[in-house]
Amino acid sequence: MTPLSLGEAEALARKAARGAGLDWGTAEEAGRAVRWLCAHQFPGGEALAGLLIASDRVPPARRAPVCGMVWRARAGCLCPVTAGAALADRAGAGPHAVTLADLAWPLLLLPFAQAAAARHGATLRVAWPGFRADVAAGALALGPAEAGEAARAAEVTCRPVPVPQGEGRPRGYRAALRPAARAALERFAARTYAPATQAGRLAGAGAGLTDND
């Protein structure tokens, strides 16, 4: 598989999320999340592809978590991008523990937890059965990770811990997406492109005076 640049992976993820029905602002969050995951050698593109396939065209407001003692979906599995964005949005209130029930593709929560941790200068531990990662500003420490590609987790916790524990993982600058995931994201992304028309071809791109002189 040809690796993508991080910019390409981010743009593909953003467009795919939009194509699957997320609003542009949340789609941008999805793009940043996939970029972060890929830079840390996690299968972020695969996770997003899985999420979008399972939640295609779910209206944005229906993806939003109900943020009680335990964060839950309104229906079905909780969307990790929407829940992650809500988690990071609240970071200004200080580090606090959150439990999320029935979270789809929990790996996608990790970059948002990292952003929240960076915002309040703390370390946050994200864990579900078979996976544990501690994140802080510029730091990632990985515990068990065999369930990193889980399509859902019944319970995910995100809570402050004193210091990161686990194996460090250096960041990289390429995104290796498996072909099936990439193809799925491209199919979603293609929905953001308007069908070409002859009028658009001429006017939209701005043909004017001759360009061959």
Partner 1 sequence: MDGSASRPETIAPRPAATVMRLARLGALHQTRLSFMRVLLRRLRREGWRFERRAFAIDARGVGEAVYTMHGPERSYSLVAFGHDLPDAMRSDRVIATAWDATFTLFDGVPTEDDIARLRAEVPRQEAGRVSERELSLSRANRSVRLFSHVVEALAAGRQPDPAQVEAVGYLMRTTAVYGSGKFGAADRAAIEDRPEFAAPFQPEMLSVWLTRAFVLDMVEEMARRRAPDRAVPLDPALRRRFGIGNSTGLGMAPFLVSHPILLNNWIAAREEALARVRRLPVADAEAAARFRAMLPRAQACVARWRSEHPVQRARLAALGADLERLADHVAAAGLSGDHPWDALWRWGEGALSEEGQEMLVSLLLEPHGALVDGLAECMSAGEETGLGLDGTMTAGTLRALLEEVYDWALAIDWDAPEAQARCWYVSEEKLEPRLGERWAEEIAPWEQPLAPGRDAARLHAALRDEPPGAPVAELLLRRPEHRAAVRRAQIAARRPYAEIRDNTIGADLMPIDMLRAKLSFFGAGCFDPRSDRWVRIEMYRGAPFPHELHDLPEDDWAWPEAEA
Binding stretches for partner 1 (CB under 8 A): 2-8, 22-26, 28-29, 32, 35-36, 60-61, 63-65, 67, 82, 85-86, 88-93, 115, 119, 173-174, 190, 192-197, 199-201, 203-209, 211-213
Place of tokens 């390429």: 174
The residue (of 75 and 93) whose beta carbon lies closer to partner 1 is 93
Q: How far is CA 63 from CA 79, 85, 86, 124, 213, in A?
A: 6, 11, 11, 24, 54
Place of tokens 């658009």: 200
Q: How far is the CB of 125 from partner 1 (least distance, A)?
A: 20
Q: How far is the CB of 78 from partner 1 (least distance, A)?
A: 12
Residue 182 DSSP one-character state: H
φ, ψ of residue 169 in degrees (nearest 5): -135, 115
The residue (of 146 and 213) whose beta carbon lies closer to partner 1 is 213
Q: How far is the CB of 98 from partner 1 (least distance, A)?
A: 13
The residue (of 146 and 211) whose beta carbon lies closer to partner 1 is 211
Q: How far is the CB of 144 from partner 1 (least distance, A)?
A: 27
The residue (of 23 and 149) whose beta carbon lies closer to partner 1 is 23
87 vs 33: CA distance, rounded Å: 13
Q: How far is the CB of 161 from partner 1 (least distance, A)?
A: 21
The residue (of 57 and 129) whose beta carbon lies closer to partner 1 is 57
The residue (of 146 and 198) whose beta carbon lies closer to partner 1 is 198
Vertex 42, ends 41 and 43: CA angle to 5°?
120
Quote the tokens at residue 88: 């990071």
Q: How far is the CB of 166 from partner 1 (least distance, A)?
A: 22
167 vs 56: CA distance, rounded Å: 35
Ramachandran category for residue 190: left, alpha or beta (phi over 0 → left; psi -120 to 50 → alpha): alpha
Whether 45 contacts 34, CB under 8 Å: yes
Task: List, in sequence order, every residue forming a beta bridge with 133; answer none if it has no partner.
Answer: 126, 142
CB atoms within 10 A of CB 102: 16
